Amino acid sequence: MSNKPHVIVTGGAGFIGSHLVERLLADGKTVTVIDDCSTGSRDNLLSVLANPDLRFIHSKVSTCSELGGLTAKAESIYHLAAAVGVDLVVKSPIHVLETNLHETEVILEAAAPRGVPVLLASTSEVYGKSQKSAFGEGDDLLIGPPHHSRWSYACSKLMDEFLALAFVRERALPVVIARLFNTVGPRQTGRYGMVLPRFIAAARSGQPLRVFGDGRQTRCFCFVRDTVEALVRLQNCPAARGEVFNVGSTEEISIGDLAKQVIEILRSQSSIELVSYNDAYAPGFEDMLRRRPLIDKLAKATGFRPATSLREIIKMTAATIV
């Protein structure tokens, strides 16, 4: 490793993490990726694996024997390692809870002695069942009942936030929390239920696009490079530390209309098939009807607003999915 500033990215072989690693290397950093590849893949880093400023450690954060030495040399840490995807959350709740809670605790404990700035990637899922038309960082959070594993992911990430902010207060650890709203783009797969790559793959093969529920639930999709820009700006903004920020687009679309737009852009002959949540996941599954972020706080702190339209996102994502 050179004398350049050193950054740790946990989950750096994942969809968002790999784009972040490319950006940090381009910014002149040396980067250590810690990833057990349980949901990510080394293939996501193929464009930079030969870069001498990149080191890849195939490990969980909690079992990385070099973690103490790495954090001692680190300028900052981006903690993106997490269990993600609705399918995984429903089918493997123990794995989700253990991964999200324990790995975050370990990285915060490692960063605390030297006060290494940590960016914690959280999620819009923490807003839970709230029926608000748009979500602000100071809103109350309404998590569903514990016997529905649907909410285990949201609860685990919310506990990550509480733990991180406790480290801010008790250990003076500089932490910023980014609640990500539906990041999409190249390298995202439909393996764990992610909607846009699922739709694109179905449209390409002429298969029906499976829309869960009635399709009227709405989401805002943010291009991965816009998300990365926001994360870098937040990490580099001292005034953001100790705060929570929404990161996402405000361009809202129903999932039914998203399916129609994918079919139209790809000039596909696919149909749209409505699938009940009970059939798609499990009895009692609950979904949020809307998930639109308020991003004024992010814009005020960093000057950032997303720049990529949904049509552009679909085209760029489709160009990478066979």
> Which residues does the annotation mark as catalytic?
153
Residues 6+ apart with CB under 8 A from 154: 123, 125, 126, 128, 143, 144
Torsion of CA 76, 79, 80, 84, to 10 degrees: -170
According to DSSP, residue 293 is labeled B
CA nearest neighbour of 178 among 113, 94, 130, 243? 243
Q: Which residues does residue 222 pair with via DSSP β-bridges, in sequence order?
A: 183
SS3 category, 310: helix
Residues 6+ apart with CB under 8 A from 219: 181, 182, 195, 252, 253, 255, 258, 291
Cβ distance 263 to 203 under 8 Å?
yes
Cβ distance 154 to 143 under 8 Å?
yes
d(CA 215, CA 232): 34
Length of the chain counted residue by residue: 322
